C-alpha cells in the first residue's frame, strides 16, 4: 500500500473534520458519525493494509499504539488500554 494512498485519506479526513467544526452544536454528534467516522475507518483499514500499527481500543481511534490491551492480545494506545473493542466483542459473542 503506498504512502500516497495513506496521505490521500488523511487529507480527506482532515477536510471532514474541518467541515465538522462548522456544524451547529446540536448536529455535531450526528455529523461526526455520518461525515467523519467513515473516513477514520477507511484510514484505519489503509494503514492496517500498509502494515502500520493501529489502535484496537476504539473503532475510530487513530492514535499510535504504544501498549497492549489488558488481555495482552491487541495493540492499543494508552488511552484505550482498558477498553479494547476486539476483546469486548469476543466477550459478547461468547455469551
- Residue 95 has a pLDDT of 47
- Residue 63 has a pLDDT of 94
Positive or negative, the CA dihedral 89, 80, 5, 18 is positive
- Residue 16 has a pLDDT of 97
Domain ranges in the chain are 1-52, 54-95
- Residue 92 has a pLDDT of 60
Q: Over its length of 95 residues, how does the chain's per-residue pLDDT go in tens digits? A: 578 999 999 999 999 999 999 999 999 999 999 999 999 999 999 999 999 999 998 889 999 999 998 888 899 999 988 888 888 766 665 54
Question: pTM of the full predicted structure?
Answer: 0.83
Positive or negative, the CA dihedral 26, 41, 68, 3 is negative
Contacts of 71 (CB under 8 A, 6+ apart): 84, 87
Amino acid at each position: 500500500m503506498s504512502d500516497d494512498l495513506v496521505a490521500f485519506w488523511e487529507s480527506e479526513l482532515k477536510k471532514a473534520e474541518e467541515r465538522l467544526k462548522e456544524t451547529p452544536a446540536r448536529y455535531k454528534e450526528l455529523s461526526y458519525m455520518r461525515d467523519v467516522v467513515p473516513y477514520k475507518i477507511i484510514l484505519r483499514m489503509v494503514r492496517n493494509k500498509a502494515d502500520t500499527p493501529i489502535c484496537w481500543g476504539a473503532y475510530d481511534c487513530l492514535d499510535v499504539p504504544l501498549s497492549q490491551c489488558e488481555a495482552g492480545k491487541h495493540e492499543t494506545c494508552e488511552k484505550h488500554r482498558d477498553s479494547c473493542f476486539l476483546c469486548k466483542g469476543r466477550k459478547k459473542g461468547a455469551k
